Amino acid sequence: MSKQAKARRLTGQEAMAKVCSVRTSARKLNLVAASIRGLKVQRALNELEFSHRRIAKDVRKALYSAISNAENNHNLDIDSLIVAEAFVGKNLIMKRFHARARGRASRVEKPFSEITIVVREVGEAA
C-alpha cells in the first residue's frame, strides 16, 4: 500500500521556487528578500537588477524560476503576479580555521542559507 498524497501547501493561484544552498548568511539574504516582498514581479525584478548587494543576482534567478513555474506548471498570467512571500531559512555551516599567533587557531564559519519565493496571481479587482 502506498502513502496518501499530501495536500498542496499553496492555493491554485500560487507558485513557488526554493533555492536550498545560497552561500551567504540568513541576515544578509533577508535584507534582499524584504526589499521585494509584496511587490509586483516586474518591479521586484527591477529592484534586484539594480541592487548593489552581491546576493541579489541569486535571488533574481530564484524569482525567475518562480515566475516560470507559475507560467508553465500552473497556467498563471505573469503580468498579474505579485511576490506574495519571500522568506529565508538557515542551512548548513562550513567550518574552517584561521591560523593565529603562537600556534593557535580560531574558527571561521561560512554559513549557507535557503530562500523560498511564492508568487500569487491577483485579479483585476485587486
Q: Could you report the per-residue pLDDT of 61-116, keeping only the tens digit for each?
A: 999 999 999 999 999 999 999 999 999 999 999 999 999 999 999 999 999 999 99
The confidence score (pLDDT) of residue 31 equals 97
Domain boundaries, the chain: 14-121
Residues β-bridged to residue 105: 99
Q: How far is CA 98 from each of CA 101, 102, 106, 108, rounded to the nearest angstrom?
A: 10, 13, 5, 7
Architecture in CATH of 14-121: Alpha-Beta Complex (3.90)
Note whether 114 and 91 are within 8 A (CB). yes
A 10 A CB-CB count for 117 gives 27
The pTM of the whole model exceeds 0.85: yes
Note whether 50 and 62 are within 8 A (CB). no
The confidence score (pLDDT) of residue 35 equals 96
